[in-house]
Chains A and B, each alone.
Chain A
């Protein structure tokens, strides 16, 4: 049968309808299995501002996961190139819990008060069942002495970093009825772990209303929306501001100084 223009248009309409139906079925199927479109947040650095990468996070399986992936350097792109474009050493995350009706205990066994004020996740030293370093950043920048209880090397920054991506993952838990809200920002740090500058972030919720946890409402906090004093300066009092210099390095330094002094005397 020859295809007339009329036949062609009708066939196209049928094809388009079929495609739209197919996409709807696919989207419905994906939403049924808990997959939604990830939230993508562009990160710009420099003057004039240039895109250095994107945060992409998604809710699935009772938590939030994703990361910041560099789009600069190489090719292929690298996190180091993104950090250099931002004039800093490396990236990490800064996360606060803005709502928590059943807060945990800190590393000292003290009950964390119900927010407000928000608390940093993890608090200095971590939780009663989880070691964390003394910096306010999400992934640990330093490791404890061997044998330290409740230490998980999988929470080290190095374990959550690839050549081009800083990963993010959080799968909270709590008794039925627990309701949590988080705000999470990408942060630029100096080599010693001290703060350099903020980047954009996202907020999200977690609830255990029905006996199994669900993460939801991942929302970009907006361009240029960084932590307020109430979300950072006012709540980081118990943290260190940089990685402490090990005593062995002080010893090395003093040894070198002593050597130089002796040589200058001679």
Chain B
């Protein structure tokens, strides 16, 4: 009786474990909206029917921040409160946070290596544009791509500029451009002097 009971219990426990693990996997899949791409993080801010005007004012923006976005929706707050020019303490870990053009459901993107020309940084992003290519879209919910890319650590004190170029391409593998790149406005920031004595996370 004891042995048969234990065997039955084992079967039940095993099955329960399987069921739970399956659910956790599917929860992880549905709750995940960020994709890590080496040093870049992609967040998708989907069109929200209850806020139909949310995406348009946020597109093609670039800012520099010390804080990672908790989720795509946080970008609306960060972008709206971002200062035109900001001073960061020397040693602060900085991120470029950029939103691109509004994309369609099947579109994909790839963040290219950050380009540096002196004190100017250019974030290059390649994306596919199904709409521009005339690909049929039926059930389609647009989304705004938001990328986070780390700036090089320990930037020397001085003035810096960041901009982002979003280039539509035929495919991510070919990188063949389609039309001219969309360019964001330049975002300027300053790294304070070594001896500022300020909190690096300022």
Chain A: residues with CB nearer than 8 A to chain B? 58, 60-61, 63, 65-67, 95, 97, 102-104, 121-122, 127, 129-130, 132, 138, 143-146, 150-156, 158-160, 162, 165, 167-176, 178, 180, 213, 246, 248-249, 251-252, 254-256, 258-259, 262-263, 265-266
Candidates B1, B8, B134; contact of A176 at CB < 8 Å: B134
Q: Which of A104, A158, A256 contacts B30 (CB 8 A)?
A: A158
Interface contact A171-B140, CB-CB below 8 Å:
yes
Q: 11 A-B residue contacts at CB 8 Å?
A: A63-B142, A102-B136, A103-B136, A145-B29, A152-B105, A153-B29, A153-B30, A154-B141, A159-B46, A173-B130, A266-B4
Q: Are B22 and A167 in contact (CB under 8 A)?
A: no
Task: Give every chain B residue within 8 A of A65 (Cβ-Cβ).
Answer: 47, 49, 52
**Which of B18, B32, B140 is close to A173, meaning CB atoms less than 8 Å apart?**
B140
Q: How far is the CB of B179 from chain A (nearest CB, A)?
A: 13
How far in angstroms is the closest Cβ of chain B from A250?
A: 9
B138 touches A162 (CB 8 A): no
Tell me the minimal C-beta distance from B2 to chain A in angstroms. Answer: 10
In the complex, which of the residues B22, B30, B48, B56 has the most CB atoms of chain A within 10 Å of its own CB atom? B30
- B interface residues, tally (CB under 8 Å): 45
Interface residues of B in 1-50 (CB under 8 A from A): 1, 4-5, 7-9, 11-12, 14-16, 18-19, 22, 25-26, 28-33, 44, 46-50
A169 engages B49 (CB within 8 Å): yes
* Least Cβ–Cβ distance between A16 and chain B, in angstroms: 32
Interface check B106, CB cutoff 8 A: yes
* Residues of chain B lying within 8 A (CB to CB) of residue A151: 29
CA distance A132 to B5 in the complex (A): 43
Residues on B with beta carbons closer than 8 Å to the beta carbon of A176: 134
- Chain B residues lying within 8 Å of A169, measured Cβ to Cβ, are 47, 49, 141
Does B137 have its Cβ within 8 Å of any Cβ on chain A?
yes
Q: Chain A CB within 10 Å — which of B16, B30, B52, B138 has the most?
A: B138
Contact A259 B9, CB 8 Å, known A167-B50, A266-B1: yes
> 5 tightest A-B contacts by CB?
A175-B134, A259-B8, A173-B137, A104-B136, A255-B11
B20 to chain A, nearest CB (A): 9
The answer to whether B196 has its CB under 8 Å from any CB of chain A is: no
Q: Residues of B contacting A159 with CB < 8 Å?
A: 30, 46
Q: Which residue of A lies closest to B129 (CB)?
A: A173
Given contacts A152-B105, A153-B32, A213-B131, 17 further A-B contacts (CB under 8 A): A58-B52, A65-B52, A66-B49, A150-B106, A152-B141, A154-B143, A155-B139, A170-B138, A171-B141, A173-B137, A246-B22, A252-B15, A255-B12, A258-B11, A259-B11, A262-B4, A266-B4
On whether the beta carbons of A248 and B139 are closer than 8 Å, the reply is: no
Asked if residues B105 and A130 are in contact (CB atoms below 8 Å), the reply is: yes
Residues of A within 8 A of B140 (CB): 63, 170-173
Given contacts A172-B140, A175-B134, A246-B22, is CB(A154)–CB(B44) below 8 Å? yes
Most buried by B among A169, A249, A266: A169
